[in-house]
Amino acid sequence: MLQLDGVTIVQGDFRLEADLTLESGARVAVLGPSGAGKSTLLGAIAGFVPLSTGRVTLDGEDLSTLAPGARPLSILFQDNNLFPHLSAAQNVALGLRPSLRLTGTEQEKVDAALERVGLELLGGRRPAQLSGGQQSRVALARALLRRRPLLLLDEPFAALGPALKTEMLALVREILNETGAMLLMVTHDPEDARAIASQAIVVTEGEAARPAPLAALLDNPPDALASYLGRRRGAEPNAAHEGDDHSAG
Ligand SMILES: Nc1ncnc2c1ncn2[C@@H]1O[C@H](COP(=O)(O)OP(=O)(O)OP(=O)(O)O)[C@@H](O)[C@H]1O
């Protein structure tokens, strides 16, 4: 269970509050207008952004006392945070051992993770020698290897084409099924959210709201979310944002 307890984050004149609980294994989309604080929320959980007040706990453990690298979570950004001078296999291995001096068993785990994402033949290549989708796979393999109970995705597949994005979301879903990890995923795309999440946290007007069922939220969005999704509450279905095609029943 992930708890944000009386959390306030202040960055310059920006302020975000969060008081919410997510059950173990929850799959949660983080939605909201640009600049609302979605990345900031993930950064605070991951430890890159300091809390002004409150606590973040995972299964009762206070994460606020742990350095980012020691937190029981993996985070993926759009740029995949791969090191350009290391091979794909070494980038994956970093998830296990920052020194890259692997034992035989650890090497086997790295190989298995690369195989799991279909990159067993490309482990020797550096990121620049891989396609965008392959780079995303390397980053996912590293997250897979770490087996942390919380996976934070900050629009990691936004730059990929629709087919690749669908494939990556399917892979994430499989990984979540295998690991039982909890997911928090920032996305601007309601269809991506539907593909993987069952709940949503709406971040708007200085607050990260308590999680709500995703389908109901997308079918009948509050005003702040409706304008961000490109349509108004009560609008005719054919006034909906192109590509945002869903039926209520
Ligand atoms: N280091 C910083 N110092 C001051 N303000 C910051 C800093 N980083 C971000 N902000 C501000 O915090 C607010 C939230 O930014 P954040 O990146 O979390 O928004 P977001 O919802 O993820 O936006 P987007 O959807 O555009 O990525 C913004 O107003 C931004 O300008």
Q: What is the pLDDT of residue 175?
A: 86
Ligand 1: atom nearest CA of 186 is 22
Is the predicted pLDDT of residue 60 greater than 60, yes or no? yes
How far, in Å, is the centroid of ligand 1 from the Cα of 40?
6
Look at ligand 1, atom 18, and give the residue with the nearest C-alpha: 37
State which of 9, 39, 78 you would mutate to test the pocket of ligand 1, scoring each by most atoms of that ligand within 8 A of its C-beta. 39
The answer to whether 113 and 89 have CB atoms below 8 angstroms apart is: no
How far, in Å, is the centroid of ligand 1 from the Cα of 36?
7
Total residue length of the chain:
249
Separation CA 65–CA 60 (nearest Å): 12
Separation CA 115–CA 44 (nearest Å): 32
pLDDT tens profile 171-225: 899 889 988 999 999 998 898 999 999 999 999 999 999 999 999 999 988 887 8
Ligand 1: atom nearest CA of 37 is 18
Look at ligand 1, atom 5, and give the residue with the nearest C-alpha: 11
Residue 71: both structure tokens together: 């937190």
The answer to whether 185 and 29 have CB atoms below 8 angstroms apart is: yes
Is the predicted pLDDT of residue 245 greater than 90, yes or no? no
**Pocket lining for ligand 1, CB < 6 angstroms:** 11-12, 14, 32, 34-40
Ligand 1: atom nearest CA of 43 is 18
Q: DSSP character for 231?
A: S
Separation CA 184–CA 175 (nearest Å): 14
Residue 245: both structure tokens together: 């095609």
Look at ligand 1, atom 2, and give the residue with the nearest C-alpha: 11
pLDDT tens profile 77-136: 877 689 999 999 999 999 888 889 999 999 999 999 999 888 999 999 999 999 888 998
Strands 212-213 and 199-204, sheet pairing = antiparallel
